[in-house]
């Protein structure tokens, strides 16, 4: 990123720094703590999150949060984008732990759910009340009060409860049954590695994690479909675990192979390289020949040594590309049915089936169909999209526990106006320096308000504010006055819609637990 002291930028597309933690020197992703992200690019390499820019061209009429880089990363969202483009079934799910009032940071998630619902997705909004009780110690009465406030804003911001589903974890028996099933595929070691749980972690807290895994897979409980989970990056540990558990629950795994033995990902890539090099002739490629080729063609690594050892053990077995069905959790009947269903040339082994005619996509479709026919779920790996943290109005991270740092969706419009007027900015020390050097919009909580909320769908307005700021034409006082007025208008409109939402919420069959009182 160029230093604005030396170059005034006029971007065609906004890529806000949006929420970089001041002073943070490392990345931590803690679903219950103070996650920090010093550089969002680190998440791509460190955690395997994919850049959203890579999939953006495939998204039909993308949301402005996508266009402006606020949604910066994803896991497997290309599957959801294809479903949208082809008018196929897909789902969206996210939710909230009701520990305080909803604020403008939570609006990002609501907007993402609503946008996917409006594009034909089955939409689910959940209240993580079990997590709030076990991880934060809130009473059920407190949870009930906050739940109502979240749901009123959810409906006021456009969620259609007649077309979607709203539920509380503690009231959903199907969800709890699914969590029980998923618990059989998880163990304490995984929990410790992923979340840092130790001997002091209470069992209810661990149980709430498995319940959240069931939340993520709940839209597929009737039938498998691509499902996206919009979250902040601090929730990525949940997404990773849910993808692992979805795979663990499957009857069959599908992968690519070249011989009868198993290889890991790195070994398989080396075997593929050897096959491609040796298959130019019309003669069959033998495993031992591939071993010799690998021994002579590259630097020694553990993966290369492992591949060579397995190839030599296979001797003169032909090396041929094939698609492999792995038996993970299949019943005997399901495995026999898969053998029968795989057409063309195949080889059947004790724990897998090799097909020489089916593509991987065809094999995955067949495996899922056989699994469902024999009582399995056939889960599709859940996808996710990640939005940047909003910077607090006082600097640092926006926090529900620091009222001055955020604007609650329940705030009086005049209170919201005053909070914006009092907010920290990325301006210079004096108006003269601002005109000379330009403002630091990338480090400005007020500019974030324009980009994330106040400019709404008007990209030209958001870009104009950015260019006027970094070009020195826009001074902080006038900028905050405009933002404060827009915030007041937004809150006034939202409060009116919340009043209308009360009748809608009261007409829904949702037990908010208002009468319930319990000791922690």
Residue 454 structural domain? 403-497
Q: What's the token pair of residue 300? A: 């020694």
372-424 residue pLDDT tens: 999 999 999 999 999 988 888 887 777 666 777 789 999 999 999 999 999 98
**Residues 212, 275 share a domain:** no
- Which of 361, 387, 413 delimits the end of a domain? 387
51-90 residue pLDDT tens: 999 999 999 999 999 999 999 999 999 999 999 999 999 9
Closest to 457 (Cα-Cα) out of 68, 9, 120: 68
Q: What is the DSSP string of 468-481?
A: HHHTT-S-HHHHHH
Q: Which regions in the chain score pLDDT beneath 50? A: 1-36, 515-520
The vertex-380 CA angle with 375 and 384, nearest 5°, equals: 145
Whether 432 maps to a domain, the answer reads yes
Distance CA 67, CA 62 (A): 6
pLDDT at 2: 32
Distance CA 407, CA 399 (A): 10
We report the CATH number of the domain holding residue 468 as 1.10.240.10
CA dist 468 to 47, 164, 462, 476, 478, Å?
Answer: 36, 41, 10, 11, 12
Whether 397 maps to a domain, the answer reads no
Whether 48 maps to a domain, the answer reads no
Angle, in degrees to the nearest 10, between helices 140-156 and 129-136: 140
Whether 58 maps to a domain, the answer reads no
**Residues 438, 456 share a domain:** yes
- Number of compact structural domains in the chain: 3
Pair 16, 448: CB distance under 8 Å: yes
Whether 510 maps to a domain, the answer reads no
We report the CATH number of the domain holding residue 176 as 3.40.50.620
CA dist 230 to 66, 96, 251, 383, 483, Å?
Answer: 12, 11, 28, 9, 26
pLDDT at 105: 87
pLDDT at 403: 75
**Residues 275, 220 share a domain:** no
Please tell me the pTM assigned to this model: 0.85
């Amino acid at each position: 990123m160029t230093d604005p002291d030396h170059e005034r930028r006029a971007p065609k597309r906004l890529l806000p720094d949006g929420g970089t933690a001041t002073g943070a020197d490392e990345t931590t992703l803690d679903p219950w703590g103070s996650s920090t992200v010093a550089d969002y690019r680190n998440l791509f390499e460190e955690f395997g999150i994919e850049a959203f820019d890579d999939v953006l061209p495939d998204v039909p009429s993308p949301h402005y949060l996508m266009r402006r880089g606020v949604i910066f990363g994803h896991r497997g969202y290309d599957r959801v984008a294809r479903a949208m483009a082809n008018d196929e079934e897909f789902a969206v799910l996210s939710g909230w732990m009701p520990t305080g009032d909803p604020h403008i940071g939570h609006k990002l998630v609501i907007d993402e759910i609503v946008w996917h619902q409006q594009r034909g997705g089955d939409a689910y909004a959940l209240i993580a009340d079990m997590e709030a009780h076990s991880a934060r110690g809130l009473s059920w009465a407190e949870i009930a009060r906050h739940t109502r406030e979240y749901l009123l804003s959810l409906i006021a911001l456009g969620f259609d409860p007649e077309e979607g589903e709203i539920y509380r974890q503690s009231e959903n028996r199907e969800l709890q049954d699914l969590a029980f099933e998923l618990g059989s595929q998880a163990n304490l070691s995984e929990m410790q590695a992923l979340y840092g749980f130790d001997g002091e972690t209470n069992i209810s807290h661990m149980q709430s994690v498995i319940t959240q895994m069931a939340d993520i897979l709940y839209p597929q409980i009737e039938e498998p479909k691509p499902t996206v989970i919009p979250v902040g990056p601090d929730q990525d540990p949940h997404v990773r675990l849910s993808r692992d558990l979805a795979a663990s629950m499957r009857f069959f795994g599908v992968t690519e192979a070249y011989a009868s033995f198993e290889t890991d990902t790195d070994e398989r890539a080396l075997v593929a390289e050897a096959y491609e090099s040796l298959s130019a002739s019309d003669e069959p490629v033998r495993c031992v020949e591939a071993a010799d080729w690998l021994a002579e063609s590259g630097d020694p690594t553990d993966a290369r040594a492992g591949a060579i050892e397995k190839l030599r053990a296979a001797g003169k077995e032909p090396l041929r590309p094939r698609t492999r069905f792995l038996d993970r959790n299949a019943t005997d009947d399901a495995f026999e049915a898969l053998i029968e269903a795989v057409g063309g040339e195949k080889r059947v082994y004790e724990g897998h089936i090799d097909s020489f005619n089916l593509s991987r996509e065809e094999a995955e479709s067949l495996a899922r169909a056989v699994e469902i026919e024999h009582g399995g779920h056939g889960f599709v790996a859940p996808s996710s999209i990640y939005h940047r943290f909003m910077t607090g109005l006082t600097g640092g991270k926006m926090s529900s526990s620091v009222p001055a740092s955020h604007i609650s969706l329940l705030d009086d419009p005049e209170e919201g106006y005053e909070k914006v007027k009092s907010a920290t900015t990325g301006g210079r020390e004096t108006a003269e320096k601002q005109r000379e050097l330009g403002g630091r919009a990338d480090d400005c909580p007020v500019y974030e308000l324009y980009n994330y909320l106040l400019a709404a769908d008007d990209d030209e307005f958001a870009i104009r504010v950015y260019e006027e700021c970094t070009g020195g034409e826009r001074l902080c006082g006038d900028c905050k006055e405009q933002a404060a007025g827009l915030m007041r208008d937004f809150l006034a409109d939202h409060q009116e819609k919340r009043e209308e939402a009360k009748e809608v919420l009261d007409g829904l069959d949702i037990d908010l637990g208002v009468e319930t009182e319990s000791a922690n």
